């Protein structure tokens, strides 16, 4: 049986929230006007009003917090951080301003400073869900995945309607291989906030049809069709349509929709990553690499795009270059389990069993519920020691973790049917069930796998 690659392309969108600071002192009228202008989408007016507000009321913490909020929306994160610090000097008791400072510092990459700021916010307000969510985002940036999960879980407990915390919890669950829990978290976030793009995009990538709510999609479609609907909302609806097309393996149509969405939101790194995933499926490796490179030009720290560049190189047959990409990813983030997994795939395909096992075992420690890792460890186990009973048990455990892991159904079906399997372990009826399930799940383009399944089914029928 050939060693079959399982390369999964999933992007999880991390989001953190900085709510409008509720200054404990009086907010000057001009600062309130600036905030109202920002809510209307009039950024120029908000900028002018907030700048005038701090000139008129230099000692007002409220004026400085509004100024910081406007600067953040303008993209001036450094200026926003300075303004939040000035607001804190004037009113050290305001937990919201400290939380907002933490969110801005996180966007600037100052993770330690962000943790200090949100920690102070939590000292002032232990039940502050926004700050707990931002703390989780900072932990995740540091690779402290378990602490991030706990922080996000606490945020959702403090505020069960915190859509960002549910989405971020889903991202951590996905990162550690718990796809079903991730899908549930994304679905909860999407239901709580239909205007929040990230969870719906993540749901489309996870592809869990049980969590697809047709009524929810219909509401978004209707909202996007209204006069004056934002480009972001229209792009989001196109992206969800594309996700559905991709889930049905209609790759050409999915690409068309993603490209339409990108025309509305050309700097959306999630869209750039996702269209590249589809282009890779279509064999458009050059286009996929161009879109992934563009995403990295916008966000150099987008590790999932770096990972996908490595996968495109695998599909191009350039394993040496792909290995270099995955090794770079491991150096940047030792807890990025997919990079360890992909290194294991490369080592195994080149016959380096010891190195492959080491990489897969590290990936399994980081993502204990990732069924594809366990599947490949089972294959390696047969190569190394030929323990058929252990291999059968491993495949069954894999399918308990992920009942739709296509490759595991084929591997288990063939092993149960194979006449070289010890007679007490062979199970022709169970073998036939797994082989037929493989044919239901496998894409039409998997000629090799489908041929193997058909041949084994024919052999079982002839030897009843």
User: Would you say residue 427 lies in a domain?
Assistant: yes
Q: Which of 210, 278, 266, 268 is nearest to 241 (CA)?
A: 278
Asked whether 402 and 392 are in contact (CB, 8 A), the reply is: no
| Confidence label for 237 from pLDDT (cuts 50, 70 and 90) | confident
User: Would you say residue 249 lies in a domain?
Assistant: no
Residue 113 has pLDDT above 70, yes or no: yes
| Confidence label for 197 from pLDDT (cuts 50, 70 and 90) | low
- For residue 231, the 8-state DSSP code is H
- Give the separation between CA 294 and CA 444, rounded to whole angstroms: 31
| Confidence label for 212 from pLDDT (cuts 50, 70 and 90) | very low
Residue 21 has pLDDT above 80, yes or no: no
Q: Percent of the chain having pLDDT more than 90? A: 35
User: Would you say residue 60 lies in a domain?
Assistant: no
User: Would you say residue 439 lies in a domain?
Assistant: yes
Q: Tell how far CA 127 is from the center of its chain.
A: 27
Average pLDDT of the segment spanning 280-298: 92
- Lowest mean pLDDT segment, chosen from 1-5, 310-314, 375-379, 422-426: 1-5
Find all residues with CB under 8 Å of 275, minimum gap 6, and list them.
Answer: 242, 255, 258, 259, 262, 291
pLDDT tens-digit series, residues 134-161: 999 898 888 788 899 999 999 999 999 9
Q: What is the pLDDT of residue 195?
A: 65
- Give the separation between CA 355 and CA 351, rounded to whole angstroms: 9
| Confidence label for 172 from pLDDT (cuts 50, 70 and 90) | confident
Largest Cα separation within the chain, whole Å, is: 91
Total domains in the chain come to: 1
- Give the separation between CA 100 and CA 81, rounded to whole angstroms: 9
User: Would you say residue 389 lies in a domain?
Assistant: yes
| Confidence label for 15 from pLDDT (cuts 50, 70 and 90) | very low
Residue 249 has pLDDT above 90, yes or no: no
User: Would you say residue 158 lies in a domain?
Assistant: no
- Give the separation between CA 167 and CA 336, rounded to whole angstroms: 19
Take residue 70 and report the two structure tokens written for it: 């406007």
Q: Which of 222, 257, 229, 224 is nearest to 243 (CA)?
A: 257
Average pLDDT of the segment spanning 248-267: 91
Average pLDDT of the segment spanning 206-219: 55
pLDDT tens-digit series, residues 45-60: 888 988 988 888 888 8
| Confidence label for 178 from pLDDT (cuts 50, 70 and 90) | confident
Find all residues with CB under 8 Å of 370, minimum gap 6, and list them.
Answer: 176, 177, 337, 341, 363, 364
Asked whether 64 and 83 are in contact (CB, 8 A), the reply is: yes
- Give the separation between CA 245 and CA 242, rounded to whole angstroms: 5
Helices and strands (DSSP H and E) totals, the chain: 25, 0
Average pLDDT, the chain: 84
pTM: 0.63
pLDDT tens-digit series, residues 68-101: 888 988 888 899 999 999 999 998 999 989 999 9
Q: What is the pLDDT of residue 17?
A: 47
Q: What is the pLDDT of residue 26?
A: 66
Q: What is the pLDDT of residue 13?
A: 41
- For residue 40, the 8-state DSSP code is T
Of 215 and 261, the one with more pLDDT: 261
Domain ranges, residue 433 = 336-462
Average pLDDT of the segment spanning 403-427: 90
Q: What is the pLDDT of residue 232?
A: 75
Of 113 and 269, the one with more pLDDT: 113
Residue 353 has pLDDT above 80, yes or no: yes
CATH number of the domain at 383, please: 1.25.40.10
Average pLDDT of the segment spanning 427-451: 90
Q: Tell how far CA 442 is from the center of its chain.
A: 24
Q: Which of 188, 162, 185, 187 is nearest to 173 (CA)?
A: 185
Q: Tell how far CA 224 is from the center of its chain.
A: 24
Q: Using only the alpha carbons of the chain, give its radius of gyration.
A: 25
User: Would you say residue 328 lies in a domain?
Assistant: no
Average pLDDT of the segment spanning 286-298: 93
Residue 12 has pLDDT above 70, yes or no: no
Asked whether 50 and 58 are in contact (CB, 8 A), the reply is: no
- Give the separation between CA 305 and CA 322, rounded to whole angstroms: 13
Residue 1 has pLDDT above 90, yes or no: no
| Confidence label for 372 from pLDDT (cuts 50, 70 and 90) | confident
| Confidence label for 359 from pLDDT (cuts 50, 70 and 90) | very high
Residue 356: half-sphere exposure toward Cβ, Cα within 13 Å: 22
Q: What is the pLDDT of residue 444?
A: 80
| Confidence label for 131 from pLDDT (cuts 50, 70 and 90) | very high
User: Helix 269-281 crosses helix 231-247 at what angle (to 10 degrees)?
Assistant: 30
User: Would you say residue 23 lies in a domain?
Assistant: no
| Confidence label for 380 from pLDDT (cuts 50, 70 and 90) | confident
- Give the separation between CA 295 and CA 279, rounded to whole angstroms: 14
- Give the separation between CA 274 and CA 288, rounded to whole angstroms: 9
């Amino acid at each position: 049986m050939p060693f079959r690659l399982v390369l999964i392309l999933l992007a999880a969108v991390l989001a953190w929230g900085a709510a409008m600071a509720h200054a404990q002192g009086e907010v000057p009228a001009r600062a309130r006007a600036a905030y109202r202008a920002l809510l209307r989408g009039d950024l120029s007016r908000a900028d002018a009003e907030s700048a005038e507000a701090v000139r008129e009321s230099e000692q007002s913490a409220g004026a400085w917090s509004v100024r910081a909020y406007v600067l953040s929306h303008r993209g001036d994160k450094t200026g926003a951080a300075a303004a939040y610090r000035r607001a804190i000097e004037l009113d050290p008791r305001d937990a919201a301003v400290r939380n907002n400072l933490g969110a801005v510092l996180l966007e600037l990459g100052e993770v330690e400073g962000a943790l200090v700021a949100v920690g102070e916010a939590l000292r002032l307000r232990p039940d502050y869900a926004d700050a707990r969510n931002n703390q989780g985002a900072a932990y995740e940036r540091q690779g402290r995945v378990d602490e991030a999960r706990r922080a996000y879980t606490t945020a959702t407990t403090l505020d069960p309607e915190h859509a960002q915390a549910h989405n971020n919890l889903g991202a951590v669950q996905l990162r550690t291989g718990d796809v079903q829990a991730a899908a549930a978290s994304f679905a909860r976030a999407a239901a709580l906030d239909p205007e929040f793009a990230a969870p719906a995009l993540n749901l489309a990538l996870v592809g869990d049809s049980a969590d697809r709510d047709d009524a929810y999609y219909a509401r978004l479609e209707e909202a996007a069709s209204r006069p004056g609907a934002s480009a972001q909302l229209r792009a989001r609806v196109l992206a969800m349509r594309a996700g559905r097309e991709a889930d049905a393996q209609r790759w050409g149509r999915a690409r068309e929709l993603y490209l339409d969405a990108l025309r509305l939101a050309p700097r959306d790194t999630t869209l750039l990553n996702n269209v590249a995933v589809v282009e890779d499926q279509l064999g458009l490796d050059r286009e996929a690499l161009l879109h992934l490179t563009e995403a990295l030009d916008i966000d150099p720290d987008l590790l999932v795009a770096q990972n996908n560049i490595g996968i495109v190189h695998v599909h191009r047959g350039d394993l040496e270059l792909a290995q270099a990409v995955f090794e770079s990813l491991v150096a940047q983030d030792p807890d990025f389990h997919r990079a360890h997994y992909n290194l294991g795939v490369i080592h195994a395909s080149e016959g380096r069993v010891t190195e492959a096992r080491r990489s897969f075992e590290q990936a399994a420690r980081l993502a204990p519920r990732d069924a594809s890792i366990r599947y490949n460890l089972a294959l390696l186990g047969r190569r190394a020691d030929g323990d058929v009973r252990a291999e059968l048990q491993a495949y069954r455990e894999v399918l308990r973790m992920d009942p739709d892991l296509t490759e595991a159904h084929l591997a288990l079906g063939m092993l149960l049917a194979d006449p070289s399997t010890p007679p007490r372990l062979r199970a022709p009826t169970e073998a036939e069930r797994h082989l037929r399930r493989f044919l239901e799940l496998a894409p039409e383009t998997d000629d090799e796998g489908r041929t193997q399944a058909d041949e084994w089914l024919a052999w079982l029928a002839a030897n009843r």
